[in-house]
């Protein structure tokens, strides 16, 4: 055996240097992966968890010239976040709050029914609109056309 003596307990100075470089590279890779996960959460998944349009379904029923709206399923909704927009056959429009339509309730759930109009024959369209309390943006959840 020619050359140099190798210490089996710790290696030579050159051997240990390679371990330090590999350790530093692994540390950088782990840091990049962690930063990527945080970025995905903050810019991707995090925004969808903070709000968004709730899932709810509604049906409309004209019963003896009174138009009713019923929440058939989905999430409970704050009536303060709902507008019911009625367009009449004479092209005028009325905007009612969810609380007005659902008898002053602050929250509606599956099965809750509200009165949209007592003269349903004069109604052209009705839209149930969710107003995002954070942004003020409106999204139509349901629409009725006479």
The string of pLDDT tens digits covering residues 30-82 is 999 999 888 877 776 654 445 578 889 999 999 888 999 999 988 888 989 99
Model confidence at 11, pLDDT cuts 50, 70, 90, reads: low
pLDDT above 60 for 2: no
How far apart, in whole angstroms, are the C-alpha atoms of residue 122 and residue 87? 9
How far apart, in whole angstroms, are the C-alpha atoms of residue 103 and residue 100? 6
Alpha helices in the chain (DSSP H): 13-40, 46-50, 98-101
Say which residue, 69 or 17, is predicted with more confidence.
69
Distance of CA 66 to the CA centre of its chain: 33
3-state secondary structure of 97: strand
Model pTM?
0.62
Ramachandran class of 31: left when φ > 0, alpha when ψ lies in -120 to 50, beta otherwise: alpha
Q: Which residues contact 90 (CB under 8 A, 6 or more apart)?
A: 122
Given this model, what pLDDT does residue 21 score? 79
pLDDT above 90 for 112: yes
């Amino acid at each position: 055996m020619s050359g140099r003596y190798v210490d089996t307990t710790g290696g030579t100075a050159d051997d240990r240097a390679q371990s330090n470089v590999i350790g530093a590279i692994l540390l950088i890779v782990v840091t990049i992966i962690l930063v990527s996960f945080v970025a995905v959460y903050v810019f991707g998944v995090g925004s969808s968890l903070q709000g968004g349009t709730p899932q709810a379904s509604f049906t409309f029923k004209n019963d003896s010239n009174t138009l009713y709206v019923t929440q058939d399923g989905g999430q409970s909704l704050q009536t303060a976040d709902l507008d019911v927009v009625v367009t009449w056959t004479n092209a005028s429009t009325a905007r009612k709050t969810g609380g007005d339509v659902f008898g002053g309730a602050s929250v509606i759930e599956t099965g809750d029914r509200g009165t949209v109009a007592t003269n349903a024959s004069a109604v052209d369209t009705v839209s149930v609109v969710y107003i995002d309390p954070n942004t003020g943006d409106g999204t139509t959840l349901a629409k009725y056309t006479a």
